[in-house]
Homo-oligomer: A and B are copies of this chain.
Amino acid sequence: MNTFGRNFRVTTFGESHGKALGAVIDGCPAGIALTEADIQPCLDRRRPGTSSLVSPRREADRVEILSGTFEGVTTGTPIALVVYNRNQESGDYDALRDIFRPGHADYSYTAKYGIRDHRGGGRSSGRETLSRVAAGAVAAKCLERYGIGVAGRISEIHGKTTPEGMEEAIRTARQEGDSVGGIVEVVVSGCPAGLGDPVFAKLDALIAAALMGIGAVKGVEIGAGFAAARMRGSENNDPITPDGFAGNNAGGILGGISTGQPIVARIAVKPTPSIEMEQATIDTGGDERKIRIGGRHDPCIAVRIVPVAECMTALVILDALLEQEKYRGFSARKE
């Protein structure tokens, strides 16, 4: 299942060292001004090397719109986005062909498919998120029309919450050939009440799936999240006043449906599994091996996940919004 969404459906493809990565968006409304210039900045933002905290590798990813627009405006037909991989040299990875890297999908992919593109993780590479970010940029453009914004930020790295603490945690980890985890928070502003469906397609369930579906994410919480499990009802319930809710422990969602307050989600991102420190593992023959993973890996992938988490959240919100429009239109008909 490489398709996401029910109304604004995004199908992604591509491996880290294949010819290209991309996405096909099906269900984008017609009439939206859209060119590559609307998407490229989002890709640039997720690019490595844009701050001192991330890997200095150069990737110049250029997105191209292959279909779905005419004279710079969406036509309602599928929008195909493609990013060609400039550097498909995969010599670096030959040494890893027969080894299962700990913390990576190598072992489970092999168990599933019996075959695996070992070059840089193939489909399980973080590069796959490029397709999501490209599609999310189009979703964000659609959400603008509703005045809805989605903003993510790093809220914690290796238990540290100050900018200095976070930077230091990363710097130290890199020096030691190790890596660190972190927490990313995403906030949706301007979201109307009524989005989401009761029962299985609760808005928080959709957000949880969207965010847990990002590689390296091991936890998702909404509003007070795990802290709510340690609260009392009198403390956790957000009182309602004539001016709105007096508190947001709910994180903007009650009974799976948005309340009109900001939607707040947080995700736990594990430390980058690729580390230079020696690790014990096995090869495909089942024999013991020791490995050190070289190359320029981000010591903290949480940093690079910020735009991905924003994009996935934007996709969920837009999808729920289109779902709502369906019934609004019907209800607006005179009986």
Contacts and interface: CB of A to CB of B under 8 A. Distances in A.
How many A residues touch the partner, as a band? Answer: 35 or more
Nearest to A286: B242
A61 to B, nearest CB: 15
Interface string A306-334: 00000000000000011111111111011
Interface string A169-205: 0000100001111110000000001111111111011
Contact of A326 (B212, B239, B329): B329
A146 to B, nearest CB: 7
B31 A241 contact: no
A66 B254 contact: no
B67 A228 contact: no
Contact of A209 (B24, B209, B238): B209
Interface string A226-259: 1111111111111111100010011101111111
A154 B233 CA distance: 18
Contact of A104 (B212, B221, B255): B255
A203 B100 CA distance: 20
Contacts of A280: 239-241, 246
Contacts of A70: 15, 18, 115-117, 122
Contacts of A260: 111
A76 interface: yes
B326 A102 contact: no
A71 B293 CA distance: 24
A335 B220 CA distance: 34
A64 interface: yes
A211 B223 CA distance: 16
Contacts of A136: none
Contacts of A294: none
27 contacts: A11-B26, A14-B66, A15-B67, A15-B77, A75-B116, A76-B113, A77-B122, A77-B123, A82-B82, A107-B254, A108-B254, A109-B198, A111-B194, A114-B331, A145-B334, A156-B230, A158-B232, A159-B229, A159-B230, A180-B231, A180-B233, A181-B229, A206-B209, A208-B208, A226-B268, A236-B273, A242-B287
